[in-house]
Amino acid sequence: MSIEQALMERSGSKCELCGSEDNLAVFEVPPVEAHSDKCILACGTCRDQIEAEELDQNHWRCLNDSMWSPVPVVQVVAWRMLTRLNSEPWAQDLLDMMYLDEDLEKWARAGMPADDAVATRDSNGAVLAAGDTVTLIKDLDVKGTGFTAKRGTAVRGISLTDNPEHIEGRVNGVRIVILTKFVKKS
Ligand SMILES: [Zn+2]
């Protein structure tokens, strides 16, 4: 039986994360091994989202159900997605309820970026720390404030956030979130 057939059977031909029947395909869950125990059947939306940087938290409310899947690899993916979403209180609540045994947790963590990779880095890869000064390398429209933070603006005394791709700093007296890919350490 092919992996796809095995997964179709296991899942009842539904996305194992959100239950959708659209555009189903095998998703190999990293670290990749071509075996149905290491793959999930996932719809196009879930597959795109798993690889995307920005998560649509409304879509991932489906984890509320799929985290209870009896299939270990589905639990692993649910755990990873909830961990990525854990700045959302609902995701943190689900994560708190979730239990992975030791081996599964090891596997789940193995697919997450290593601690070193989680360091907050600027556009050149330099590690940023709280209190650093950075320079914007691009004009940034600041949502909800009606001003543009100009390229070359120095932002002093940044703070780090839970997300290594975001820092916070004050521009024009307003505290804003800035994507680290648009700054360089001064
Ligand atoms: Zn799906």
What is the tens place of the pLDDT at every residue in 63-119? 999 999 999 999 999 999 999 998 899 999 999 999 898 889 888 888 776 554 578
CA of 100 to the centre of ligand 1 (A): 21
The string of pLDDT tens digits covering residues 37-67 is 889 999 999 999 998 888 999 999 999 999 9
Alpha-carbon dihedral of residues 50, 55, 57, 59, nearest 10 degrees?
Answer: -50
The rounded distance, in Å, linking the Cα atoms of 150 and 48 is 32
CA distances in angstroms from 173 to 94, 154, 166, listed in the order given: 36, 12, 18
CA of 113 to the centre of ligand 1 (A): 23
The rounded distance, in Å, linking the Cα atoms of 149 and 174 is 10
CA of 164 to the centre of ligand 1 (A): 26
CA of 14 to the centre of ligand 1 (A): 8
The rounded distance, in Å, linking the Cα atoms of 31 and 24 is 21
What are the residue ranges of helices labelled H in 26-149? 44-51, 63-66, 72-84, 89-97, 102-110
CA of 49 to the centre of ligand 1 (A): 9
Question: What pTM does this model have?
Answer: 0.58
Identify the residue whose tokens are 């899942």. 11
